[in-house]
Structure 1
Amino acid sequence: MSCFSSDPVSYKLYYFNGKGRAEVIRLILSAAGKEFQDIRFEFDKWPEHKPKTPQGMLPYFEFDDVTLPQSNAINRYLAEKYGMFGKNLWERTMIDVIYETGLDLREKMVEAMFEKDEGKKAELFDKLGSEIVPKYLGLFDGFLDKKTNENMFFVGNSVTIADLLVFHLLDGLLQKTPTLLDNHPKLTKNHEKVAEIPGIKKWLEKRPSTEF
């Protein structure tokens, strides 16, 4: 069966037992109402599975006779396939601007999370809370500045991968700081609208509770 068929027989997503770089893939598929096999590996099982992966890393994604590595390539492919990547060149460009901004924030969050030196780790987390996260909340607010309560998606009038990546990042931050968005009403509304999408609401209710 061709990878250009309307829908594959099945989707299989391979990742660690966590949200991480696979969660936006899960959110896209959930928003689109698509079933998928969510195949998870504990860290101690990774060495034996690593040689079987397309690039020696996770996540990767399988459907029909296709195996796709690279989470952001998978995200963009699925977003394009299921109408979450804009309706024209300008919308896709703005989605990419917001998406890449979100990736910049994620990089700083991951840096702090995986720092091995405890002293430096504490410094990185302090800087995240006092400088970096507030800066990015301001940037995301700016993208929503001219939106109305009836249409609080970042680009256009429906959910895109820009909304889903920001939702995922804020979801993790809100678990640690529930008051994070108290002074960000438009960003709060965006977060709520994404969470209300039926497929995403269903996913959030059933997904495993994990450390990351």
Structure 2
Amino acid sequence: MPHYKLYYFDVRSRGEVIRLLFHLADEKFDDERFMMEEWGALKSQMPLGQCPVLEVDGVKISQTTAIARYLGHQFHRAGTNAIDCARLDMMAEVVQEFMSADGMGKFSRVLIGMLPDNKDQFFKEKVIPDIEKYAPLIEKFLLENGNNGLLLGDRETWVDVFAAETFSKVIDYGSPDALDAYPHILALINRVFNHPNIKKYVASRKQTPA
């Protein structure tokens, strides 16, 4: 197997889905976490000057979705044919848009104090409108796949993990009732985080501010 090394800050934010995929697959990787003040020395070493970055046998790959998609294929957590892969990519783009939207995209920086906004007010005024825009789309995809808590088929894919981690943060850091209107997303989160491998990791996971 390749040697994997993940570079990301010591928070969940955009890097946690990658960690979850490794734990789902029960694959070893070096979890290289660093603090904000250490980033300046590392930035020039990264392909796009940003992180997360996954190093695979010395080759660095940037962008959360590109890394998650790569691992999905490596760990057999992608579609089994071209059309299913395309459908998963479509759903992943919705999650990516939500994660990068005006409110959700800045929420982590509010949580760690990089932006001066009040957390509760920012969540109510900026993040909730993003939830109301994107959650119904994911809810629709889940409903179309039946009642098994997954986006496609009957086995967890990389996009299920991507969506579950992204939406779970609005509960964990925003409001416990933020997704009450979306029972299928709640079922997705429940299924992914109750997978034995992920459940074991989360039980010992360090609490982080974002």
Both proteins in one fold, TM over 0.5: yes
**In 2 relative to 1, CA 101–66 (structure 1 residues): closer, same or farther, beyond 3 Å?**
same
Q: What aligned pairs does 1:34-113 form with structure 2 within 5 A after superposition?
A: 34-108=27-101, 109-113=104-108
| TM-fit CA distance, 1:137 | 1.8
Deviation digits for residues 159-193 of structure 1 (CA, Å, limit 9, x no counterpart): 11221111111221011211223232222211111
Deviation digits for residues 39-67 of structure 1 (CA, Å, limit 9, x no counterpart): 11100111122233333221211232422
SS of the counterpart of 2:14?
helix
Asked if the contact 1:91–1:156 (Cα under 8 Å) also holds between the matched residues in 2, the reply is: no
SS of the counterpart of 1:155?
coil
Query: Would you say 1:30 and 2:23 are equivalent positions?
Result: yes
TM norm structure 1: 0.85
Letter in 2 for 1:161: W
Q: What aligned pairs does 1:161-200 form with structure 2 within 5 A after superposition?
A: 161-175=158-172, 176-200=174-198
Letter in 1 for 2:180: D
Count the aligned residue pairs: 202
Identity %: 29
**In 2 relative to 1, CA 205–123 (structure 1 residues): closer, same or farther, beyond 3 Å?**
closer
SS of the counterpart of 1:21?
coil
Q: 1:160 maps to which residue?
A: 157
Question: Using the alignment, how far apart are the partners of 1:118 and 1:183 within structure 2?
Answer: 26
Instruction: Decide which moves more: 17-26 or 44-53.
Output: 44-53
Letter in 2 for 1:210: T
TM norm structure 2: 0.86
**In 2 relative to 1, CA 27–113 (structure 1 residues): closer, same or farther, beyond 3 Å?**
closer
SS of the counterpart of 2:5?
strand
Question: Using the alignment, how far apart are the partners of 2:117 and 2:21 within structure 1?
Answer: 35
Question: Using the alignment, how far apart are the partners of 1:201 and 1:127 within structure 2?
Answer: 30
Q: 1:3 maps to which residue?
A: none
**Cα RMSD for the two superposed structures:** 2.2
Structure 1 unaligned regions, length at least 5:
1-6
